[in-house]
Structure 1
């Protein structure tokens, strides 16, 4: 028998001589790679054939080897597995019979050493022989069942113990949170809302519980499968997969540590530079140092400087972040950039308008302004919009781009000290002396609570129309007066009407078309016609 194999291998040895002038002595298909065929016995992989040998395809070689091995395993003889070298190939023997041949052509296509590969295949075959004997042993199977039952009891006990531990911790959690809630405070204000903290910790306990349950189930299944010969490869593969996963995660963490350390160092440096720049800007904002850097522009300048420093630090630290070189990370970066470029054009415009308002100092919080048809006190100048509170119970939010594109009247910028300007326009006929009109307007301003007498209210003749002159009264309001400007103007207009009625002067506003037969003014005895009541009557009614 062995001589026959020698003759066959002499023929096989001629195959490598193809292309060197020698005629091959086998099939014309010898050495041609075919579809790889796996030799699998008792649920365990023994070897994978890659080349056609002596006219047999890899699938035929695997089928022939499987038939020989299964026939040998069905016997009761003690099967010995060995490897015998024949010329440049290795033959795996099972009980003195040829099981299969590991030829150089298989290794040339798959890669590896012939002898080493044959020894590995023989070791796998020995394990199959051993497991076949175990599967026929009633004692071994009973022992495997006993170990599996014991493992199941331990698994159930650990599973219930994990569940009990989670419930115990969940029951102790409110008490622990109440005992430590008073310690986590900023002054008298609790730093965290205990309701949300309880929810987060409860979710974390739930997550840890299910991770432990998954690991217990995984190890129990792997152990039980490893006890029986046929399912042992599955149990071993489960262990291998888990170990490979842990090894992969550990290697990823170890490889990421240097990059993370560099990124953290960059962020600490950026934090120090940001704090230094903030202190430097605070010193430069002192009066007389830099004109454009004032108390109003200090905060946005500090924020912009800090933003630029942190963006630069992020760009520097980006290559050192874990996963920054992966295609997923690059794709996400491109997606975010595309979203920002498509959707942030108006946002950038609003932010630029906010910077223009801040550094041009067109308006600031506390000033009374008029933007287009909107008038009120500025409460906040933000990056994207400005908030104005009117005297009519309204709060207006104006986009900064609208303010920069409109004419802004600031009634608080030119006053002496704090406060704001109030003004109004009346038109009186040419038959009324202008000196009398100016005196009446000043008198009405003096009667209005909330208007300063110093500086003195002024009257300007702003136009000489076809039928009447135009008079503008300009005065300064008291800054400490809580009355809104709209209410103050309403009171001023009421006093102007009273003064002009006292002196019998007709107000020609809004349009003059001709002299009426009777002058349009209200005598004092008709000021409180029902349902209006005099001030003394209102006070008596309230009492």
Structure 2
């Protein structure tokens, strides 16, 4: 703290000494700047001889017009130049001499005589001060060169005298005023430092009460210390910006106490004033647009909040709208929020600063071209995503079959759908492809119409097996499966009467479509067990015809202990006798 006070005091003393000693730098032209234009350029900028030739006037008695400076008459004009009367010439010369005298940067010795044909120009390295023509020399009854030298010397003497008067020590009142301003500046800086320290302590206390780590799931973006350091850095940046502004303002004010630096102070102050004035005017001019932006954001925020309340109620089941399904709530909410945000941006965009600039227009054209050239497939997938949502084709977790892909819906996004197959394969299908494919959903019946899914399998058996027995055996096999429902009861359909076999379709109900592979496996196992228990062979009829006399295909566990495989039954004579008897019967005459 002691070092801080020492630095402030040292800063104040240095500032005060600079302000007091600056006049010495500008006295007697010590600081000689390089000429910004040459004498030749000054000559070229002067009027031609014809332009300054004296005009003929009916009133030859021209009144003398004195050129005065600092209460002293330096010389007089009695002749007029074309377009300029003697009075105007005197006024202009007086103004130029006063301007040079007050500009301590211009050395007195820089005043020289530029000789042109018929006139003499007293000029500095930058511009002309006044001119003398032959008529002026004739009025003074002196040669033109001698008159110009005399007038130049008078001007130099008057300016030197004026500057000596200005270079007198600064009055005590100004010194006291400057000292008070320096003291006020130091006190203001001390106050700012105390405020800064208090803000520092407050931010440190917020580490345990206000700040929380910024995380995205398990990823920590900002820790508490990083948030505090960021806020401290912003406060420190603001502090040094205010300090710099204060130093500039006080420096401009202090330099105005010294005549030699008054112009410098005025320049600094005018720059700062114009800067803040322009910024203030721009801010005031932008207030209507800012109000429109805030109003648009406020209205959009309240509309979004109201929509979220409605959609939360629909999603929670507390509000129902006829024809609007509950699972539409979240997608519709996202769609409505996106549309409201897009509409708000369309309204706000023209009100932003620089919205009419070429940069903004270029960005708009680039984004439009990007969507036009490369967004066709994305837009198709986007439209397909909304079609899938509002047709309610499936939901996340449903067991579906799309083309030759069967599995559970793992993720449903606005652009694509991901399916996990029974082999744990993840398949991504663009939504544009979904709207052109048939989608078979095995879960919708349970959810929408509260009807269980029917699983079915086909068994072909020979005509020698009684169909009633087959129905009973297949139903018992279905009921023996733990994933099959007792009610509604399973049923069997005879779907085809083939040349050698009958097709039996077993239909059973289940409420767990996601376990379809296990259900079918259990059904097939139970069908084999039940058929074996009652002695029904599940064989193709063709194989059965060719293997007559072979070992039964029923597992040995289900066969009697005294079972023997029958031999081949070949009875050709029986077939012949049956055929002959049949023919004799047909030949007998009717009674």
TM-score range, shorter chain: 0.5 to 0.7
In structure 2, the residue matched to 1:262 is 292
Query: For the residues of structure 2 that align with 1:419 and 1:179, how far apart are their CA atoms?
Result: 55
C-alpha spacing 1:413/1:43, structure 2 compared with 1 (3 Å):
same
C-alpha spacing 1:300/1:194, structure 2 compared with 1 (3 Å):
closer
- Alpha carbons 1:506, 1:521 under 8 Å: kept: yes
In structure 1, the residue matched to 2:488 is 455
Partner SS for 1:358: helix
1:474 lines up with 2:498 in the alignment: no
Deviations 1:410-440 (CA, angstroms, capped at 9, x unpaired):
2234459546525243443435635444433
Deviations 1:137-196 (CA, angstroms, capped at 9, x unpaired):
9999xx99xx99x989x89x969985x9778755654542423479x9xxxxx9xx8954
Deviations 1:478-533 (CA, angstroms, capped at 9, x unpaired):
35x9x733333333333333334434545459x9899665555544479xxxxxxx
In structure 1, the residue matched to 2:366 is 335
How far 1:454 moved relative to its partner? Answer: 1.3
C-alpha spacing 1:232/1:81, structure 2 compared with 1 (3 Å):
farther
- Alpha carbons 1:502, 1:523 under 8 Å: kept: no
- Alpha carbons 1:420, 1:476 under 8 Å: kept: yes
Deviations 1:454-481 (CA, angstroms, capped at 9, x unpaired):
11223344556777555443322135x9
2:528 aligns with one of 497, 519, 531: 497
Q: Across the two proteins, how many residue pairs are aligned to each other?
A: 424
Moved more, 257-266 or 430-439: 430-439
Deviations 1:251-295 (CA, angstroms, capped at 9, x unpaired):
222222111212332344445556677788989x9999754x332
C-alpha spacing 1:503/1:232, structure 2 compared with 1 (3 Å):
farther
- Alpha carbons 2:474, 2:527 under 8 Å: kept: yes
- Alpha carbons 1:468, 1:508 under 8 Å: kept: no
- Alpha carbons 2:42, 2:128 under 8 Å: kept: no
In structure 2, the residue matched to 1:12 is none
How far 1:444 moved relative to its partner? Answer: 1.9
- Alpha carbons 1:377, 1:389 under 8 Å: kept: yes
Query: For the residues of structure 2 that align with 1:286 and 1:137, how far apart are their CA atoms?
Result: 90
In structure 2, the residue matched to 1:209 is 236
- Alpha carbons 1:223, 1:235 under 8 Å: kept: no
- Alpha carbons 1:369, 1:377 under 8 Å: kept: yes
RCO higher in structure (CA 8 A, sep ≥6)? 2
Query: For the residues of structure 2 that align with 1:258 and 1:309, how far apart are their CA atoms?
Result: 22
Query: For the residues of structure 1 that align with 2:552 and 2:415, how far apart are their CA atoms?
Result: 53
- Alpha carbons 1:349, 1:401 under 8 Å: kept: yes
Query: For the residues of structure 1 that align with 2:394 and 2:373, how far apart are their CA atoms?
Result: 31
Partner SS for 2:462: coil
In structure 1, the residue matched to 2:227 is 200
1:375 lines up with 2:406 in the alignment: yes
- List gaps (5 residues or longer) in structure 1: 1-39, 57-76, 104-124, 185-189, 527-543
Q: TM-score, normalised by structure 1?
A: 0.58
2:385 aligns with one of 354, 365, 370: 354
In structure 2, the residue matched to 1:247 is 277
In structure 1, the residue matched to 2:433 is 402
Partner SS for 1:300: helix
Query: For the residues of structure 2 that align with 1:211 and 1:400, how far apart are their CA atoms?
Result: 52
Partner SS for 1:459: strand
Query: For the residues of structure 1 that align with 2:234 and 2:498, how far apart are their CA atoms?
Result: 83
1:176 lines up with 2:206 in the alignment: yes
- List gaps (5 residues or longer) in structure 2: 1-30, 50-69, 102-107, 112-121, 131-155, 560-591
- Alpha carbons 1:422, 1:485 under 8 Å: kept: no
Query: For the residues of structure 1 that align with 2:160 and 2:510, how far apart are their CA atoms?
Result: 106
Deviations 1:317-348 (CA, angstroms, capped at 9, x unpaired):
43333332333222222223233334433332
Partner SS for 1:375: strand
How far 1:42 moved relative to its partner? Answer: 4.2
Query: For the residues of structure 2 that align with 1:82 and 1:176, how far apart are their CA atoms?
Result: 77
C-alpha spacing 1:466/1:230, structure 2 compared with 1 (3 Å):
farther
Q: TM-score, normalised by structure 2?
A: 0.54
How far 1:447 moved relative to its partner? Answer: 0.9
How far 1:452 moved relative to its partner? Answer: 0.9
Q: Which has the larger radius of gyration?
A: 2
How far 1:211 moved relative to its partner? Answer: 3.9
Instruction: Please give the root-mean-square deviation of Cα atoms over the aligned residues, in Å.
Output: 5.7
C-alpha spacing 1:209/1:275, structure 2 compared with 1 (3 Å):
closer
- Alpha carbons 2:477, 2:526 under 8 Å: kept: yes
Query: For the residues of structure 1 that align with 2:439 and 2:422, how far apart are their CA atoms?
Result: 18
2:346 aligns with one of 282, 291, 315: 315
